[in-house]
Structure 1
């Protein structure tokens, strides 16, 4: 191991979950690791200025991509998951319908389940629109800018600071539709809807495979950026970030890891960076 500490910077969205896990990994492996997860833009500025070795970041379209001296690899995805009570007879939804439920300035204004094609006792009920706020991740912002014509939510959308509060709200008797940064627990009171861009498009679920191929339309890449000249020194830590045992920690942080085969291929490619 290098005597110099590895300086990791990047997104504050993963700080509370990934930070402690990496500190524990470093302690067990006697790896000197300095972690400053205080934001993607700040992290990239620090990396490019020579103040860091490795950045785990979310880059927007307005951000300048790193230069050719850097490796810039996608290692996972942030997403927006659409969840409803498991008892609602609905399996998929498209952007136009979602816009009608959540958007303030859309062509349609959907208020009842029947307007989504739901029949039976649920059909006559009003829809409670729920979202996890910015404090709980980027799911709501990703939705606003990918789905809505103007990025304004209805004033009636109920926003919660975390997934647990949002899922508890729609898991109750009233029900509702929630925008979440990660899927609810399998076998619980909620289910995930398949999502399509258009009414005639095929709908997909937010699996790692569908996110990586782009079939699931609500995704934002999470990138690992470092200098090519540092590849060998950083390899041990990078392998851990892409390892199967780290995947649950990333999921808890709202980052859907790459499919296993894709991850393994990426590990091989990064080991051979020159």
Structure 2
């Protein structure tokens, strides 16, 4: 469904608190967070001045129909964190091995941790996915690590956060996908991409690795703004880069851009 004309459009992850904060900070601006696909279309066709879009793997930035230049900024990212029990000797894991654990039809089925690492002790792998409402854990992982394949039938899907915490605390063979690092119990694994043309270096999901795009299990939320509308959107753009907005994005389960990066973006806007 096509969105109505609005100043700022984009992902439905921003409905609720983020949309409310934007309304309070920039009362003269209209918004319609009806989804990334209709938001992209509205922005390309000139029915919106800015768009906040989830940019999926291998997807390109929008090009405006009227060829106007676009200023873009990686505002936040939806991330999949891979966690295991604190006693697990593993420090990292590749996308291929994650697929071997979670996919219904993997290249090399992995049911035991010594299928991943021959030096590991024999321990059955307990795979689970915690994808709370408003997060994209299941969809991101299935799209990137599984390349669209279905999950193995015995994978526990969409478990609640308290169940995920219990698994990480009590099951030594657990490997659980969650939207943010565990607050206390559990150990976060670094993830190596390793796909053709991609780095085989493993990265953890820290603020820098996520923003730079080095951590592979993520979908960035990118802010695109028409160059000829920067001035009139100023109040809204400043709020979207504020600490208040970052806190709301984090509460939504996203990883906001580092504060220093957000401030540099605003400084560049001020000089245009």
Displacement after TM superposition at 1:141 (Å): 2.6
Q: What are structure 1's unaligned runs of at least 5 residues? A: none
TM-score, with structure 2 as normaliser: 0.81
What SS does structure 1 have at the residue aligned with 2:170?
A: coil
2:178 is aligned, of 177, 180, 185, to 180
Distance in 2 (alpha carbons) for counterparts of 1:45 and 1:161: 34
Distance in 2 (alpha carbons) for counterparts of 1:267 and 1:72: 12
TM-aligned CA distance change 1:15 to 1:84, over 3 Å: farther
Residue 36 (1) aligns with residue 35 (2): no
Moved over 6 A (4+): none
Q: Which residue of 2 aligns with 1:128?
A: 126
Distance in 2 (alpha carbons) for counterparts of 1:238 and 1:30: 9
Distance in 2 (alpha carbons) for counterparts of 1:112 and 1:211: 29
Q: Which residue of 2 aligns with 1:241?
A: 240
Q: Which residue of 2 aligns with 1:112?
A: 112
Give the helix-richer structure, 1 or 2: 1
Q: Give matches, 1:152-167, under 5 Å.
A: 152-160=150-158, 164-165=161-162, 167=164
Contact 2:26 2:235 in 1 (8 A): no
Question: Number of aligned pairs?
Answer: 260
Q: What are structure 2's unaligned runs of at least 5 residues? A: none
1:79-123 superposed Cα distances (whole Å, 9 cap, x missing partner): 221112334333221222211111112121111233344988xx4
Distance in 2 (alpha carbons) for counterparts of 1:38 and 1:169: 35
Q: Give matches, 1:165-204, under 5 Å.
A: 165=162, 167-174=164-171, 176-185=174-183, 188-198=184-194, 201-204=200-203
TM-aligned CA distance change 1:76 to 1:118, over 3 Å: farther
1:116-171 superposed Cα distances (whole Å, 9 cap, x missing partner): 44988xx4442221113485433323222322356222111111166x25523523
Distance in 2 (alpha carbons) for counterparts of 1:18 and 1:150: 30
Distance in 2 (alpha carbons) for counterparts of 1:253 and 1:195: 23
2:49 is aligned, of 31, 48, 53, to 53
1:33-74 superposed Cα distances (whole Å, 9 cap, x missing partner): 434222011112233444433321113445671324233332
Distance in 2 (alpha carbons) for counterparts of 1:98 and 1:13: 26
TM-score, with structure 1 as normaliser: 0.80
Contact 2:10 2:38 in 1 (8 A): yes
The alignment yields a C-alpha RMSD, in angstroms, of: 3.1
